[in-house]
């Protein structure tokens, strides 16, 4: 029964995200329609069957036929009528909904994160110049051996107590989900009775902790429902973390920026996801304004799409562009009332809203300029992080535009809340530390940024610090120092005088 319910939930989740977004190369189609329109005007009353067919072949991709054209206030003045007495049967496009986008494919090299090379510190034993008698040497040797053995026993007690805390059912969730490899190995060691721990055990544990630290960002995404408290919307939190993770992953995989945006819309989000909807609108606008000419901009310059001061469509290509974009946007349920021309929403108001939405191309071109100025390579962690920051600013800016333009209903369905945008920034901060292999900063950042919304008490967060420090220990002295920092019985045990 549970399996059936699970499948039903997945099915309804799919239906909720099954809204079709009609994404086309709108600007390029607008240029083609302008060319056809001007050629038709020069024909006067001559036979224009071919132009008429080509004209409506393009419009068909946007769901416009000879009847629908009158319902589009921006397009109806540009309607082409057939001059020939022979009517042409309606031609169907063989690729109406799946026309191939003519896009520039730009391949970015995967950013090469600097490798943190460990340089072990060498301590040279200082040989004493004074001769030591055999008896003194023997006594010193025995004393050293006894002190060392006592120290090992105390370390064992400290480690055992911490392992007991980590494997405790009440305290184990954070370690179980964030550090699965370390948790499993600690559980194996402690379940064995904890009689003794060998150097090899701790070395394997250290390597497990290091791998878990590197995988912490993806573990946050996978296990977010178990990690975060009910004080936040779990589904929206998971969506924004998933968006952030897939963006970073696809940047590393060398996706061009337009394909990068499109790839984010192909991920599976929760039902009724605001992140999914706003990403699809951005993707639609990105596709609509792609520029494949030999110009400097990857997307059409926003200056070429701006309306004049009187909000008039004084250029034929602009009229076609906004007429087609209007048709695309009113097909989105959440934007239909917002864009459609009504008594409460004049044609000028509709144009102004579309112009403000399409202004995102200005920031997209800035991001493209950044990567172009770096020869399409992100060679350093700093370059990589700057690229992420620019994209995050573009997303936040568009989100703010949607919030300011929309009414209360639209804000609830088409914007990402400010606290959710902050989660995106916080997640990038953790990835930044992992990318730089600065493992000492990862857990402090995680606790600082996400501690207040975690499904654990502050007391239980200390076990995370232990796993984090495990990934960087190199000597027994490092282990002893780490145990000194644990605020429990192990501290009192380690602090006992060594006789």
Is residue 202 within 8 Å of residue 479, measured between CB atoms?
yes
Instruction: Note whether 215 and 160 are same-domain residues.
Output: yes
Helical ranges in 101-179 per DSSP H? 134-167, 173-178
Of 78, 101, 126, the residue that ends a domain is 78
Instruction: Note whether 429 and 445 are same-domain residues.
Output: no
Of 395, 412, 439, the residue that ends a domain is 439
- Would you say residue 127 lies in a domain? no
- Compute the distance between CA of residue 177 and CA of residue 190 in angstroms, rounded to an integer: 18
Number of domains in the chain: 3
CA–CA distances in Å: residue 85 to residues 53, 68, 101, 111: 14, 22, 35, 63
- Burial zone of 365 (CB within 10 Å; 0-12 exposed, 13-18 middle, 19+ buried): buried
Question: Which residues span the domain enclosing 57?
Answer: 21-78
Total residues found in the chain within this entry = 499
- Compute the distance between CA of residue 498 and CA of residue 147 in angstroms, rounded to an integer: 6
- Compute the distance between CA of residue 417 and CA of residue 239 in angstroms, rounded to an integer: 12
Quick one: pLDDT at residue 88? 39
- Would you say residue 204 lies in a domain? yes
In a structure prediction context, what are the per-residue pLDDT tens digits for the chain, which is 499 residues long? Answer: 444 444 444 444 444 455 789 999 999 999 999 999 999 888 766 678 889 999 999 999 999 988 888 888 888 888 888 765 444 344 334 433 444 333 333 333 334 444 333 343 444 444 444 445 656 655 565 555 454 544 455 455 556 666 666 666 555 678 888 888 888 888 787 765 555 666 677 778 888 888 998 999 999 999 988 888 878 888 899 999 999 999 888 888 878 888 888 999 998 898 889 999 999 999 999 999 998 765 556 899 998 888 876 667 778 999 999 999 999 999 999 899 889 988 888 888 999 999 999 999 999 999 988 988 888 888 888 888 888 889 889 999 999 999 998 888 888 889 998 888 899 989 999 998 898 888 888 888 998 898 888 876 656 666 777 777 776 666 556 555 555 544 444 343 333 332 2
- Would you say residue 158 lies in a domain? yes
pTM over 0.85: no
Instruction: Note whether 461 and 411 are same-domain residues.
Output: no
Question: Other CB atoms closer than 10 Å to residue 194's CB: what's the count?
Answer: 15
Instruction: Note whether 403 and 454 are same-domain residues.
Output: no
Helical ranges in 375-417 per DSSP H? 381-405, 408-414
Instruction: Note whether 233 and 354 are same-domain residues.
Output: yes
Quick one: pLDDT at residue 56? 92
- Would you say residue 9 lies in a domain? no
Quick one: pLDDT at residue 459? 61
| Helix 347-358 / helix 360-373 crossing angle, nearest 10 deg | 20
- Would you say residue 473 lies in a domain? yes
Contacts for 228-235: CB closer than 8 Å, 24+ residues apart? 228/450, 228/453, 228/454, 228/455, 229/453, 229/454, 229/455, 231/453, 232/419, 232/453, 233/420, 235/270, 235/271, 235/273
Instruction: Note whether 249 and 348 are same-domain residues.
Output: yes
Helical ranges in 229-308 per DSSP H? 234-252, 257-265, 274-288
Instruction: Note whether 273 and 216 are same-domain residues.
Output: no
Instruction: Note whether 319 and 451 are same-domain residues.
Output: no
Which among 490, 477, 455, 496 is positioned nearest to 165, based on CA atoms?
Answer: 490
- Would you say residue 186 lies in a domain? yes
Instruction: Note whether 250 and 366 are same-domain residues.
Output: yes
Instruction: Note whether 434 and 472 are same-domain residues.
Output: no
Which among 74, 76, 69 is positioned nearest to 90, based on CA atoms?
Answer: 69
- Compute the distance between CA of residue 254 and CA of residue 252 in angstroms, rounded to an integer: 5
- Would you say residue 216 lies in a domain? yes
Is residue 52 within 8 Å of residue 15, measured between CB atoms?
no
Quick one: pLDDT at residue 32? 94
Quick one: pLDDT at residue 94? 40
Instruction: Note whether 163 and 149 are same-domain residues.
Output: yes
- Compute the distance between CA of residue 282 and CA of residue 260 in angstroms, rounded to an integer: 12
- Would you say residue 108 lies in a domain? no
Of 439, 465, 482, the residue that ends a domain is 439
Secondary structure string (H, E, C) spanning 42-76: HHCCCCCHHHHHHHHHHHHCCCCCCCHHHHCCCCH
- Compute the distance between CA of residue 367 and CA of residue 397 in angstroms, rounded to an integer: 13
Kindly state the DSSP code that residue 78 receives in the 8-state scheme.
G
- Compute the distance between CA of residue 499 and CA of residue 490 in angstroms, rounded to an integer: 18
Instruction: Note whether 289 and 149 are same-domain residues.
Output: no
Is residue 250 within 8 Å of residue 477, measured between CB atoms?
no
């Amino acid at each position: 029964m549970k399996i059936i319910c699970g499948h039903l939930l997945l099915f309804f989740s799919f239906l909720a995200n099954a809204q079709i977004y009609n994404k086309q190369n709108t600007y390029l189609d607008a240029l083609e329609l302008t060319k056809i329109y001007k050629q038709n005007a020069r024909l006067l009353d001559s036979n224009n069957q071919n132009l008429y067919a080509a004209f409506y072949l393009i419009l068909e991709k946007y769901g416009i036929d000879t009847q629908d054209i009158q319902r589009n206030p921006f397009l109806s003045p540009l309607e082409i009528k057939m001059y020939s007495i022979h009517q042409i049967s309606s031609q169907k496009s063989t690729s109406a909904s799946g026309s191939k986008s003519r896009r520039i494919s730009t391949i970015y090299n995967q950013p090469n994160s600097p490798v943190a090379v460990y340089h072990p510190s060498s301590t040279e034993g200082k040989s004493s110049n004074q001769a030591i008698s055999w008896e003194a040497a023997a006594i010193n040797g025995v004393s050293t051996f006894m002190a060392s053995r006592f120290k090992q026993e105390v370390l064992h007690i400290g480690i055992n107590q911490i392992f007991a805390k980590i494997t405790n059912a009440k305290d184990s969730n954070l370690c179980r989900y964030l550090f699965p490899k370390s948790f499993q190995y600690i559980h194996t060691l402690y379940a064995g009775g904890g009689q003794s721990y060998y150097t090899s055990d701790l070395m394997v544990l250290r390597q497990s902790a290091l791998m878990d630290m590197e995988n912490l960002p993806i573990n946050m995404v996978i296990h977010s429902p178990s990690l975060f408290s009910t004080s936040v919307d779990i589904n929206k939190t998971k969506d924004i973390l998933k968006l952030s993770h897939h963006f970073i992953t696809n940047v590393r995989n060398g996706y061009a920026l337009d394909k990068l945006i499109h790839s984010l819309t192909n991920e599976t989000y929760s039902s009724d996801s605001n992140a999914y909807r706003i990403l699809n609108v951005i993707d639609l606008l990105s596709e609509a304004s792609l520029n494949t000419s030999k110009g400097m901009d990857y997307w059409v310059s926003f200056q070429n799409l701006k309306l004049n001061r009187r909000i008039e469509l004084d250029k034929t290509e602009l009229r076609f562009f906004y007429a087609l974009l209007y048709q695309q946007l009113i097909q989105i349920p959440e934007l239909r009332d917002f864009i459609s021309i009504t008594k409460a929403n004049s044609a000028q108001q509709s144009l102004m809203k579309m112009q403000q939405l399409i202004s995102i191309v200005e920031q997209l071109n800035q991001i493209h300029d950044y990567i172009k100025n770096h020869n399409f390579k992100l060679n350093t962690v700093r370059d990589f992080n700057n690229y992420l920051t620019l994209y995050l600013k573009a997303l936040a800016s568009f989100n703010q535009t949607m919030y300011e333009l929309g009414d209360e209903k639209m804000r609830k369905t088409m914007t990402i809340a400010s606290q959710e945008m902050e989660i995106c920034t916080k997640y990038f901060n953790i990835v930044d530390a992992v990318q730089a292999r600065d493992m000492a900063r990862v857990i402090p950042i995680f606790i600082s940024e996400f501690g207040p919304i975690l499904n654990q008490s502050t007391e239980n967060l200390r076990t995370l610090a232990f796993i984090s420090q495990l990934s960087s220990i190199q000597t027994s002295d490092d282990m002893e120092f780490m145990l000194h920092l644990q605020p429990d019985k192990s501290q009192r045990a380690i602090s006992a005088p060594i006789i």
